[in-house]
Amino acid sequence: MAIAKTQGIILKYSNLGEADKILTILTRNNGKIKAIAKGSRKPKSSLLSASEVFVFSEFVLYRGTNFYHITQATVRETFYNLRKDLLRLSYATYFVELADAVSEEGIPSERLFMLLAKTLYYLSTGEIPTGLLHLAYQLKLMEISGFRPNLSRCVSCRGDKDFYPKFDAELGGVICRDCSETSSLFNPNAFKISQGTVEAFKFLLNTEISRVNTKKIDNTIFNEVDKILRAFIRIHLDKRFRSLEFLDGIKDSEL
Ligand SMILES: [Zn+2]
Q: What are the residues whose beta carbon lies below 5 Å from ligand 1 (ion)?
A: 154, 156-157, 159, 176, 179
| Tens-digit pLDDT profile for residues 119-150 | 999 999 999 999 999 999 999 999 999 999 99
Lowest-confidence segment of 1-10, 20-29, 35-44 by average pLDDT: 1-10
Say yes or no to pLDDT of 188 above 90: no
Please provide the CATH number assigned to the domain covering 82-148+194-254. Answer: 1.20.1440.120
What residue spans define the domains of the chain? 3-78, 82-148+194-254
- Mean of the pLDDT values across residues 112-121? 98
| Bridge partner list, 25 | 10, 33
What is the whole-number distance in angstroms between the Cα of residue 169 and the centre of ligand 1?
Answer: 14
Q: How far is the CA of 183 from the centre of ligand 1 (A)?
A: 10
pLDDT at 189: 76
- Ligand 1 centre and the CA of 189: distance in Å? 16
**Do 232 and 172 meet the contact criterion of CB atoms below 8 Å apart?**
yes
Angle between helices 195-206 and 130-144 (to 10 degrees): 70
Q: Is the pLDDT of residue 185 over 60?
A: no
Rounded distance from Cα 159 to ligand 1 centre (Å): 5
- Per-residue model confidence as pLDDT tens digits over 63-106: 988 899 999 999 999 999 999 999 999 999 999 999 999 999 98
Q: pLDDT category, 1, cuts 50, 70, 90? A: low
Q: Measure 196 CA to ligand 1 centroid, in angstroms.
A: 19
What distance in angstroms lies between residue 177's CA and the mean position of ligand 1's atoms? 7
Q: If one looks up domain 3-78 in CATH, what number appears?
A: 2.40.50.140
**What would the pLDDT profile of 217-247 be if each residue is shown by its tens digit?**
999 999 999 999 999 999 999 998 999 999 9
**∠ at Cα 138 (117, 213), nearest 5°?**
75
Instruction: Tell me if 3-78 shares its fold with 82-148+194-254.
Output: no
